[in-house]
Every structure is written in structure tokens, then in C-alpha cells.
């Protein structure tokens, strides 16, 4: 186990009280909420706050969903703090979720089985992500983490997604995250274009034609990043065996194609 006994008991008690998404108290501006009074990370003792839940069934949301920092219910203003367990489970028509900076917790399977979800931003004050939070999201390409310090992950928080999802931390924060026990073995990237050690994945890669003009074919498995001579990331994509990309919009010059630990230099005419 990657957590201390005391932390486990306290967190488990909090999750049992706060995370279940099988009942809702309010439906406001397209979002279902449950009201809870409990001490929580980032909140004062006995704070009353709202948890985002579903309407007692999977597939409760669709389209673009905005989670506000606060919501007014019966004349009272409450902070929205948690994404409850299975809150967005099985939302087959969900395209995006915008999380406010007040969100500190992502619940168990909260975004699981959302096939249209492609990108999600996790706010700076994030405290923990529960197991299988993003499992079975085939089109999820990026998880952007805005916290500059590592936070707590339950076992299998990124189960079945780290091989195809780019988990991006703030610039030059990879080493800090990798030093945290819970983040061990997770492949990370930062928004400067740096790649962490992760699981030391290697990838055999071939790129052609070289020089290239209009298109470039990449043979590789997994995440591929293209950077220019200044080290700026110009393209990021996931390749399954082979993919041909359009080079329109890129200036002539030298580029570097990276897959795992392998780098190929390409001339664009």
C-alpha cells in the first residue's frame, strides 16, 4: 500500500460520508448536487459544501458541463468542492467538463466510460484522485494538472489510461511529482515539452519521407511529440503502428520527432 494507516482511515471515512453519488439534493443550472457538512482538505472545520453527483443513474450529463466555484441554493451560497463517485459515469454524450478552482477531489470512477471526453483540466488546489477516475475513456488524450506540487493518488487512479493519455504537469515540475511515492511509474509530461522518466518506455520509430514537404509518415507505438529547433512542441499525437500527418502550417526547417527514448531529425522543405 502507498499510504499510511492513519491517512487511509481518515480518507476512507471521508469518502464513505462524502463520495457516494446515489442521491442528490438539488438540481441547479444543469448540475446535480448533494449538500454535506464535513471537514475537508482546503476547507474549515464543519464547512457545508456541495458535491457534484448524478441523478441516481449513469449517463446523467451531456454536452459541455460547467462546474462553478459556488452555487446558490435557497438563498444560501455554498462552495462546490468534490466531484462525487461515478458522477459522470457512462455519460456517452459528454464532450467536456470545466472544473472550478474550488474542486479538491475527483471521486471513484467519476469520469469513467465517457467516450467523447478528450481533455480535462484539474485545478491547482487538487488534493486527491480516487481509483479508476478516468477509466475506459478511449478518446481522452490529455489530463492537464495545474498543481505545482504532487497530491495524493489512490491505487489505480490512472488505471488503463497512462498508455494513451498524456498527463501534463506544470513546467519543470516532473521531478517533484516523480519523487512522490504515489506517482511512481506514471509517465508524465510538462507544458514545456519535457518528458519524465516514468516507466522508461522505449519505442522503435521510423519517419519518412525525409526531407518531407506536405506530409510525414510516422511508424511508432504510443505518444509522439514533434518539436522545432527552439525546443517548442508543435505537434503531439498518439500513434498506433503507423500514421501520416499533414505538415501544413509548419515552417521550413529542422524538426525533431520523439517517441519514447528515440528521436529522429527531420528536414521540412
- Express each pLDDT in 111-144 by its tens digit: 999 999 989 999 999 999 999 999 999 889 889 9
Q: What are the boundaries of each domain within the chain?
A: 5-190, 206-268
**Residue 141 to residue 120: CA distance in whole angstroms:** 9
206-268, which class in CATH?
mainly beta
Q: What is the CATH number of domain 5-190?
A: 3.80.10.10
9-66 residue pLDDT tens: 344 444 444 444 457 999 999 999 999 987 665 555 678 999 999 998 889 999 999 9
Residue 193 has pLDDT above 80, yes or no: no
pLDDT, position 43:
52
pTM: 0.70
pLDDT grade, residue 4 (50/70/90)?
A: very low
Beta-carbon-side half-sphere exposure of residue 198 (alpha carbons within 13 Å):
19
Confidence band for 6, pLDDT divided at 50, 70 and 90: very low
CA 179 to CA 183: how far, in whole Å? 7
Three-state SS for the chain is CCCCHHHHHHHHHHHHHHCCCCCCCEEECCEEEEEEECCCCCCCCCCEEEEEECCCCCCCCCEEEECCCEEEECCEEEEEEEECCCCCCCCCCEEEEECCCCCCEECCCCCCCCCCCCEEEECCCCCEECCCCCCCCCCCCEEEECCCCCCEECCCCCCCCCCCCEEEECCCCHHHHHCCHHHCCCCEEECCCCECCCCCCCCCCEEECCCECCEEEEEEEEEEEEEECCCCEEEEEEEEEEEEEECCCCCCEEEEEEECCEEEEEEEC
Q: For 203-239, what is each residue's pLDDT tens digit?
A: 578 999 999 999 999 998 877 888 888 777 788 887 8
pLDDT tens per residue, range 98-109: 999 999 999 999
Amino acid at each position: 500500500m502507498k499510504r499510511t494507516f492513519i491517512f487511509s482511515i481518515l480518507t476512507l471515512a471521508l469518502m464513505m460520508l462524502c463520495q457516494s453519488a446515489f442521491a442528490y439534493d438539488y438540481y441547479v443550472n444543469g448540475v446535480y448536487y448533494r449538500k454535506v457538512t464535513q471537514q475537508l482538505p482546503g476547507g474549515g472545520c464543519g464547512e457545508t459544501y456541495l458535491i457534484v453527483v448524478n441523478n441516481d443513474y449513469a449517463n446523467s450529463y451531456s454536452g459541455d458541463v460547467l462546474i462553478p466555484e459556488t452555487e446558490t441554493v435557497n438563498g444560501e451560497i455554498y462552495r462546490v468542492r468534490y466531484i462525487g463517485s461515478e458522477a459522470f459515469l457512462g455519460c456517452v454524450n459528454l464532450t467536456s467538463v470545466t472544473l472550478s478552482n474550488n474542486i479538491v477531489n475527483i471521486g471513484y470512477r467519476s469520469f469513467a466510460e465517457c467516450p467523447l471526453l478528450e481533455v480535462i483540466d484539474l485545478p491547482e488546489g487538487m488534493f486527491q484522485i480516487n481509483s479508476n477516475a478516468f477509466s475506459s475513456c478511449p478518446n481522452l488524450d490529455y489530463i492537464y494538472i495545474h498543481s505545482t506540487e504532487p497530491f495524493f493518488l489512490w491505487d489505480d487512479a490512472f488505471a488503463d489510461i497512462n498508455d494513451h493519455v498524456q498527463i501534463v504537469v506544470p513546467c519543470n515540475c516532473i521531478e517533484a511529482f516523480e519523487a512522490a511515492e504515489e506517482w511512481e511509474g506514471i509517465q508524465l509530461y510538462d507544458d514545456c515539452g519535457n518528458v519524465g522518466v516514468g516507466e522508461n518506455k522505449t519505442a522503435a520509430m521510423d519517419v519518412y519521407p525525409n526531407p518531407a514537404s506536405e506530409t510525414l509518415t510516422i511508424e511508432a507505438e504510443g505518444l509522439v511529440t514533434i518539436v522545432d529547433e527552439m525546443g517548442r512542441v508543435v505537434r503531439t499525437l498518439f500513434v498506433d503502428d503507423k500514421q501520416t500527418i499533414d505538415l501544413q502550417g509548419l515552417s521550413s526547417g529542422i524538426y525533431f520527432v520523439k517517441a519514447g527514448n528515440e528521436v529522429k531529425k527531420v528536414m521540412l522543405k
